[in-house]
Structure 1
Amino acid sequence: MAIKFDGQVAIVTGAGGGLGREHALALAKRGAKVVVNDFSPAAATAAESVVQEIEAAGGTAMAWNTSVTDEAGVAAMVTATMAKWGRIDILVNNAGILRDKSFSKMALDDFRLIIDVHLMGAAICTQAVWNIMREQKYGRIVMTTSSSGLYGNFGQANYGAAKMALVGLMQTLSIEGAKDGIHVNCLAPTAATKMTEGLMPPAVLEKLTPDSVTPGLLHLVSRDAPTRAILCAGAGTFERAYITLTGGVHIGTGADAAEQVAAKFDAISDRIGEVVPKDGSAQAMNEVGKAMAASNG
């Protein structure tokens, strides 16, 4: 069945170019009314250019020029969206910047800036729409994470920390939103954008087009979307990432417990029987369960 968004309203942040632009165009093409958010000090913004593209193709959109770190600006965007269209069904937290440098040479101001834009920006935008979605009993939210957060990448300690933090935000919000029909997921894209120019050879960049990522985004914000998924996407290939928990080994608290952890680290790391916990309590339940079994054994 074709994925359609007729009658739905979507906000896409950082949508003046790259992945955000592609997301906005695709959502509009499939029937959504789209708020194209981007931040520019110029009078004629990239967001307005994307709105013109959408309207030229027969779609409906409006531009909103504000930083996702500006709480008042984001609140005004949400208020204007509700006044114009009366609902918000989809939020795509896509806005982002890079300040790459090895950690030893990284200014803490650049660390804070990345955290502010990626993590706090997503939190600000999400909280601004959260109660609207709760009242509607429907919402679809996507956090844009990254392989740099999931697996690490040299020179991106700030970016990786922010992107992994978004996974933690998604994990909890998917639990809190479940009763109100709010699905929250993460998208980890690999795409050639202005942020990645010069990082990869041209032959690779040719495959990593933004439009090869967007099909994954469309599924994550559809009516049949999963919740609490980490979907990786690039060059038309799609994978899932998981945060798992191994079965572990009960060692106890004896004087040689540290040495036992070292000696049994391979067994502790054994992935046979690992699980994807339904929430954070699973770790404690596993640990206490093994401790009680050892006491009773």
Structure 2
Amino acid sequence: MARFNGKVALVTGSSNGIGRATAVLLAQEGAKVTITGRNSERLEETKQEILKSGIAADHVLAVVADLATEEGQDKLINSTIQKFGRLDILVNNAGTAFIDSQGRVGIDQDVSDYDKVMRINMRSVVTLTQKAKEHLVKAKGEIVNVSSVAAGPQAQPDMMYYAMSKAALDQFTRSTAVNLIQHGVRVNAVSPGGVTTGIGEAMGLPAGAFEKMASFWESHKECIPSGKIGEPVDIANVIAFLADRKLSSYIIGQSIVADGGSTLVMGMQAHDMMSILTSP
């Protein structure tokens, strides 16, 4: 028996990347899923990938919506409940970052980019969670937020606004976890490191730029000790674990890091210091 039989999952940002992989995995494991994004063509690709797994068409609801708007969020929640009658798992995956049109980064980047990033990465998570709360309480359900290792203590000078939004998301995860567990709802998060998701071009990077950066990371052990950038399914597996109460019932308000070891390494530790110390 599939572990999510009888469950209904809503996965935001599921038109590609981690969201798509998560929606496919949850559907394969028995859940009925609502997938959503702004791009109808990419959303249809996700739906077709789910159906190729032998999933019945009436187990998938595709909703084209702008998550940054109240109207889009209402449409998402209402259509899910109307079709499936319940909501057990909310995966707050949708997120973004922006490259300044003039190439500015850090404190020099226009504050309007900060507003846009926070609206998608943080505000929309808060309001969608508020709208989903009553249904999740009825189901004694699960929330999994997709954060990032960028939220950690290491500085992120080139992607400062993105890092700030994810640090705020981690605090939201902890605080709502305590608030909602009294109602039987668990809240946790996953913090991916480098993952091939297609976000580079969505951010405005030239085609192939992210792949070039990923190749650099993989060839430098101070970037990714495992020597391999993550794939969306690597993160989807963690999300499924956190959504599975039988496996993770005692995990409350935590963020599981999945980064190939990146956050364990300081630059000086990435090199063989003993060979330097003992060399002639």
TM-score by length of 1: 0.73
Amino acid at match of 2:197: T
Aligned to 1:80: 79
* Corresponding pairs, count: 234
Which residue of 185, 197, 207 corresponds with 1:193? 197
Superposed displacement of residue 26, structure 1: 0.5
Q: Given the superposition, is the C-alpha separation of residues 91 and 238 from structure 1 closer, same or farther in structure 2, using an over 3 Å criterion?
A: farther
The 8 Å contact of residues 232 and 238 in structure 1, kept in 2 or not, is answered as no
The 8 Å contact of residues 171 and 228 in structure 1, kept in 2 or not, is answered as yes
Which residue of 251, 254, 277 corresponds with 1:229? 254
The 8 Å contact of residues 213 and 234 in structure 1, kept in 2 or not, is answered as no
Amino acid at match of 2:196: A
User: 1: CA distance between counterparts of 2:30 and 2:216?
Assistant: 34
Superposed displacement of residue 185, structure 1: 0.6
Where does the alignment leave 5 or more consecutive residues of structure 1 unmatched? Answer: 241-297
Superposed displacement of residue 135, structure 1: 2.6
Q: Given the superposition, is the C-alpha separation of residues 63 and 217 from structure 1 closer, same or farther in structure 2, using an over 3 Å criterion?
A: same
Aligned to 1:19: 18
Aligned to 2:268: none
Where does the alignment leave 5 or more consecutive residues of structure 2 unmatched? Answer: 201-209, 219-226, 265-280
User: 1: CA distance between counterparts of 2:119 and 2:25?
Assistant: 28
The 8 Å contact of residues 16 and 50 in structure 1, kept in 2 or not, is answered as yes
CA RMSD after TM alignment = 2.2
User: 2: CA distance between counterparts of 1:125 and 1:58?
Assistant: 30
What secondary structure is seen at the aligned counterpart in 1 of 2:197?
Answer: coil
Q: Cα deviations across residues 26-47 of structure 1 (Å, max 9, x unaligned)?
A: 101100111111112xxx4211
Question: Equivalences for 1:63-142 in 2 at 5 Å?
Answer: 63-100=62-99, 101-136=104-139, 138-142=140-144
Q: Given the superposition, is the C-alpha separation of residues 239 and 90 from structure 1 closer, same or farther in structure 2, using an over 3 Å criterion?
A: farther
2:161 is the alignment partner of 1:158 = yes
Q: Given the superposition, is the C-alpha separation of residues 104 and 167 from structure 1 closer, same or farther in structure 2, using an over 3 Å criterion?
A: closer
User: 2: CA distance between counterparts of 1:203 and 1:73?
Assistant: 37
2:208 is the alignment partner of 1:212 = no
Amino acid at match of 2:87: I
The range that moved more, 80-89 or 93-102, is 93-102
User: 2: CA distance between counterparts of 1:238 and 1:89?
Assistant: 33
User: 2: CA distance between counterparts of 1:83 and 1:200?
Assistant: 42
Whichever of the two has the greater Rg, that structure is 1
What secondary structure is seen at the aligned counterpart in 2 of 1:201?
Answer: helix
Question: Equivalences for 1:49-64 in 2 at 5 Å?
Answer: 49-59=45-55, 60-64=59-63
Q: Cα deviations across residues 90-137 of structure 1 (Å, max 9, x unaligned)?
A: 01111111114522320111011000000011112211111111233x
What secondary structure is seen at the aligned counterpart in 2 of 1:64?
Answer: strand
Amino acid at match of 2:255: I
**What fraction of aligned residue pairs are identical, expressed as a percent?**
24
The range that moved more, 3-12 or 25-34, is 3-12
User: 2: CA distance between counterparts of 1:98 and 1:75?
Assistant: 24
Superposed displacement of residue 61, structure 1: 1.0
